[in-house]
Amino acid sequence: MALKDKGNYLCRYDNIIMKYIKFLKIVIVFCVLWSCAKENKIEKEIAAIPVEIGIERFDRIFADVTEENLADVKMRYPFLFPEKTPDSVWIQKTKDTIQLEINNEVEKAFSNFSTEKEQIQSLLQHIKYYFPEVIVPRVITVTSNVDYQRKVILSDNLLIISLDTYLGTDHHFYSGIQSYLKGRFVRDQILPDVATMYAKQLVELPRNRTFLANMIYYGKEMYLKDLFLPGFLGSQKMAYTEDQFAWAQANEEEIWRYFIDRQLLYSTEADLLPRFLYPAPFSKFYLEEIDQEAPDRVGQYIGWKIVSSYMKNNNVSLRQLLLTDAETIFNASKYKPVR
């Protein structure tokens, strides 16, 4: 081929490449705009769902309990007063110095709960969009002597939130509690915690004991939280700091390779759950250079990514997802960790 012909050929080739790149850019922009338009349409439909809630500040009501009004308060909130506990115990508690300090600290932190009220209302609209049968609950705020094992209780038509477990990481009430737990005792975690409780009610427990089944169980929970809390960060949904979430994102491929190389997916070893799925100071890879940096629950993060990939690559409904077993989800997910 003559030099002139080669030059013409290369120019034509370059033009084709440039046109192809331009076409790809147009396609990408169109897809983004279409996706945004679809999301906006869904959000408009969600916003139109009639949900009205009130916030019953039982924390304040109990702070004002006296011998004269105790009977009336018990009649209004019988589920908060065990029958076998005599009235004298409740009256004594209202005068207890620790309870008085809790009352004061909660009132300082939550003198205004209007933002949370709006957020809970929006959360319930999102939940009812996907699951219309869900009942709008009575929302009640309480104090619980910092019972961080039960920060949020969802039972029947009751949603109970313990405000004294959301006073901030450095609050002196939490001085004896491990740091990895205290990081979640912040106001911004109220909504993700409420969403978690609803997700737990909607997702069936794993059908077998494999590590994969448990990862997918948590992945389903996280996928529901994605739908319920579209305006929240991934770090908030995982109850991670931003640095912890960034670490999980940056090391997704290495985490996955570790699970695969050690053939953990179908293992039923009980210690895998506390190592990679349950709250802990860190995920236990038993590799010194990693364990010092890895956040806890990285198995939940991977499960979330697998379920998201499954829903992206398969035309299935949300209810079908919840009924599908872990192995089917994994095999059809086409999951590839982000490099």
**Residue 116's domain spans which residues?**
55-202
pTM here is 0.88
- Same domain (yes/no): 148, 28: no
Residue 20 pLDDT: 55
Rounded CA-CA distance 201/21 in Å is 47
Domain count, the chain: 3
Residue at a domain's end among 202, 219, 249:
202
Q: Are residues 10 and 132 in the same domain?
A: no
> Within this chain, do residues 83 and 175 fall inside the same structural domain, yes or no?
yes
Angle, alpha carbons 254-209-263 (nearest 5°)? 35
276 neighbors 286 (Cβ within 8 angstroms)? no
Task: Looking at the structure, tell me whether residues 23 and 62 fall in a common domain.
Answer: no
Strands 152-155 and 158-162: antiparallel
Taking a C-beta distance cutoff of 8 angstroms, is the pair 167, 189 a contact?
Answer: no
Is the residue at 338 inside a domain? no
Closest CA to 255 of 280, 290, 221, 289: 290
Residue 339, in any domain of the structure: no
* Residues 34 and 59 placed together within one structural domain of the fold: no
213-264: per-residue pLDDT in tens?
Answer: 999 999 999 999 999 999 999 999 999 999 999 999 999 999 999 999 999 9
From 202, 230, 252, give the residue that closes a domain: 202
Same domain (yes/no): 105, 42? no
Contacts of 82 (CB under 8 A, 6+ apart): none
pLDDT for 30 equals 45
Q: Do 78 and 115 have their domain in common?
A: yes
User: What is the per-residue pLDDT across 181-223, written as a single tens digit (0 to 9) for each?
Assistant: 999 999 999 999 999 999 999 999 998 999 999 999 999 999 9
Dig out the tokens for 206 from the structure.
Answer: 């794993």
Instruction: Examine the domain organization and report whether 219 and 234 are in the same domain.
Output: yes
Looking at the fold, whether 162 and 256 belong to one and the same domain comes out as: no
Please tell me whether residues 61 and 196 are part of one structural domain.
yes
